[in-house]
């Protein structure tokens, strides 16, 4: 299978590259210099020029708070360009896989979100990703939109790396405990995307929006406690639970973004991953795991 991947240095793109080598997938990765998502037509041209069996978009504008100041750029990168890429894929009869987010929901229900639930993003980032979902769905019938959440890995900017960096020098960490979600290892997301891509190559692809995130659900404070508990540090910071109101941010976050992942298992046989196992692997890669 030959794959064209938008993104090269992001968390998911890096794991896609690593997994492709292990799976024997011939994948080409486009960095910003080769295909800038702020230039939709350049991205479409890259699709038309490629001899690919599947196209994956693992690039995005992911700065949630900055998006409040740059909603136009966020919408261009996350909304307009994926739709243009999807249209180019449709022209060539190639399936398109797009990564989306739990932040398309407003966080109100007391149960995990299903794909069929009404969306209602609270901020510019979520609105931009929802715009991408709408554009991709309209432009390419052979599409899969993978909504995921709380992505972490051994590289890039993410909660795990931030906790390790800051927690090493502080006796106490104040972390929000009233936002509930599903941490997800980037390596697991990459594995799911390649499984979906290979199923399309075998003629077993099913189009639509699917949820894929780690289990069990937790809070940011619970996630922080799990990180520190698994380090080999002799002195570990105390995690003090605070409320969202105690840690104001420019962008609103959903109080509940837990995702129901039953549909992807039914369609593709992909079960929810245990994020705690993914966390252990990341800590080992970073040299921070307990012996």
Which one is catalytic: 61, 103, 125, 212?
125
The pLDDT of residue 191: 98
Q: Are 77 and 127 a contacting pair, CB within 8 Å?
A: no
Is residue 178 in some structural domain? no
Label residue 290 by pLDDT band (50, 70, 90).
confident
- Residue 211 phi, psi dihedral angles, 5° rounding: -95, 140
Task: Provide the domain limits for residue 27.
Answer: 2-157+186-214+257-274
Indicate left, alpha or beta for 269 from its phi (over 0: left) and psi (-120 to 50: alpha): left
Cis-peptide into 85, omega within 30 deg: no
Q: What pLDDT, in 10s, does the model give residues 223-250?
A: 999 999 999 999 999 999 999 999 999 9
Tokens 């007391």 locate to 110
Is residue 166 in some structural domain? no
Is residue 249 in some structural domain? no
Q: Are 185 and 225 a contacting pair, CB within 8 Å?
A: no
Helix (H, G, I), strand (E, B) or coil at 260: coil
Mean pLDDT for all residues in the chain: 96
The pLDDT of residue 289: 86
Has 268 been annotated as catalytic? no
Q: What pLDDT, in 10s, does the model give residues 123-145?
A: 999 999 999 999 999 999 999 99
Helix (H, G, I), strand (E, B) or coil at 187: helix
Residue 179 has pLDDT above 80, yes or no: yes
Residue 109 has pLDDT above 80, yes or no: no
- Tell me what the mean pLDDT of segment 272-281 comes to: 98
- Tell me what the mean pLDDT of segment 67-81 comes to: 98
- Tell me what the mean pLDDT of segment 255-266 comes to: 97
Fill in the DSSP letter of residue 114. Answer: P
The pLDDT of residue 110: 84
The predicted model scores a pTM of 0.96
> What residue ranges in the chain does DSSP mark as E strands?
2-6, 26-30, 54-57, 96-101, 143-148, 151-152, 172-176, 180-181, 184-185, 208-211, 218-219, 238-242
Instruction: Enumerate residues 6+ apart whose C-beta is below 8 A from 70.
Output: 61, 124
Label residue 99 by pLDDT band (50, 70, 90).
very high
Is residue 32 in some structural domain? yes
Residue 218 has pLDDT above 80, yes or no: yes
Is residue 41 in some structural domain? yes
Q: How many domains does the chain have?
A: 1
Report the DSSP beta bridge partners of residue 211: 147
In this structure, what CATH number is given to the domain that contains residue 135?
Answer: 3.40.50.720
Is residue 168 in some structural domain? no
Q: How many CB atoms lie within 10 A of CB 171?
A: 9
Is residue 112 in some structural domain? yes
């Amino acid at each position: 299978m030959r794959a064209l991947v938008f993104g090269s240095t992001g968390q998911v793109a890096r794991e896609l590259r690593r997994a492709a080598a292990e799976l024997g997938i011939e994948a080409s990765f486009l960095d910003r210099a080769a295909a800038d998502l702020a230039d939709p037509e350049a991205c479409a041209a890259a699709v038309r020029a490629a001899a690919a069996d599947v196209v994956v978009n693992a690039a995005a504008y992911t700065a949630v708070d900055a998006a409040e100041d740059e909603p136009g750029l966020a919408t261009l990168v996350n909304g307009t360009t994926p739709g243009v890429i999807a249209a180019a894929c449709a022209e060539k009869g190639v399936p398109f896989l797009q990564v989306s987010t739990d932040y398309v929901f407003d966080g109100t229900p007391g149960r995990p979100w299903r794909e069929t639930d009404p969306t209602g993003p609270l901020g510019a980032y979520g609105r931009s990703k929802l715009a991408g979902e709408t554009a991709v769905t309209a432009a390419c019938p052979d599409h899969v939109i993978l909504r995921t959440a709380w992505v972490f890995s051994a590289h890039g900017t993410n909660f795990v790396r931030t906790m390790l960096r800051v927690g090493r020098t502080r006796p106490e960490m104040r972390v929000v405990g009233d936002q509930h979600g599903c941490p997800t290892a980037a390596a697991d997301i990459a594995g799911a995307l390649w499984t979906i891509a290979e199923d399309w190559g075998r003629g077993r692809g099913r189009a639509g929006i699917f949820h894929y995130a780690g289990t069990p659900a937790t809070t940011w404070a619970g996630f922080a406690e799990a990180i520190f508990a698994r380090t080999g540090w002799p002195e570990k910071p105390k995690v003090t639970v605070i409320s969202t109101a105690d840690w104001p941010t420019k962008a609103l976050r959903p109080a509940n973004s837990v995702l129901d992942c039953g549909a992807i298992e039914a369609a593709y046989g992909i079960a929810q991953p245990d994020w705690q196992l993914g966390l252990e692997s990341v800590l080992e890669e970073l040299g921070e795991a307990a012996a």
